[in-house]
Amino acid sequence: MEPVAECMLVIIGATPEGRKELLGFQVGVRESAQSWRELLVDIKARGLSVPPEIAVGDGAMGFWNALDEVFPGTRHQRCWVHKTANVLNKFPKSMQPAVKADLREIWQAETRAAAEAAMNTLAEKFGAKYEKAVTCLIKDRDTLLTFYDFPADHWDHLRTGNPIESVFATVRHRTVRTKGALSQKTAKLMVFKLVQAAAKTWHRLKGANQLPMVIEGVKFTDGVATQDADNRAARSSRVTQIRP
């Protein structure tokens, strides 16, 4: 049997002010719930006592299982970049551009209802001949659309893992050019130093002014605070009533 490949497990969070911060990282196995559990427990022990509102990641099942154990109240959001790649891999290459456009119609929809309708359309269109591809998409329907319950300004950050992928582009650029095998200690130190340097140029997340509302538990529907939506509906009703 081949040895289990280890990698760097990384978690980045956002402060109430919209700043990205490295919360923790360690060497582990990507698919291992135990590896992710150790990292999450460590973060919790160091002070993250309040469960995060939402976690974004790819389909590494080890992470999601561990998350439900350590922070059971945290919502799940699957990364659309990874899901798109997984679905497209189950289609012939000649079809992939068209299917990718259909997938884009889902995650770029203005409302959850429109996204679900687009997903149903894709399933009906390809389900008979490409059942595995459709199943790959539909089985994660709910966790692919969680972002609709958060501010619309946050959707760009929540639909994909790009905020963390972009952070580690610099790290990968350096580590792939490092000659010779690194020990775990050396590798962790290198990653930490590279992230420290990169953090100086990190930009604040979009819609930072709405993060306190999320923390306070304000409900959002299709990216709009429920209270705001109710107020707009009430104003619209009053305007309708006074029309001649």
pLDDT value at position 2? 46
Alpha helices in 92-161 (DSSP H): 96-107, 112-126, 131-138, 141-144, 155-158
pLDDT value at position 121? 97
Paired with 225 in beta bridges are 220
pLDDT value at position 171? 61
Kindly tell me if the per-residue pLDDT of 164 is higher than 70.
Answer: no
pLDDT value at position 6? 72
How much of the chain is helix, strand and coil, in % rounded to 5? 55, 10, 30
Dump pLDDT digits (tens) for 5-16. 677 788 888 888
Kindly tell me if the per-residue pLDDT of 178 is higher than 80.
Answer: no
Residue that is written with structure tokens 């998350």 in the block: 67
Dump pLDDT digits (tens) for 46-80. 998 888 999 999 887 789 999 999 999 999 999 99
Q: Which of 30-39, 58-67, 98-107 has the highest mean pLDDT?
A: 98-107
Q: pTM for the whole thing? A: 0.83
Dump pLDDT digits (tens) for 122-147. 999 999 999 999 999 999 999 999 99
CA dihedral 121, 127, 130, 132 (to 10 degrees): 100
Kindly tell me if the per-residue pLDDT of 187 is higher than 80.
Answer: no
pLDDT value at position 163? 65
pLDDT value at position 235? 41
pLDDT, mean of residues 81-88:
96
pLDDT value at position 175? 57
pLDDT value at position 227? 72
pLDDT value at position 203? 80
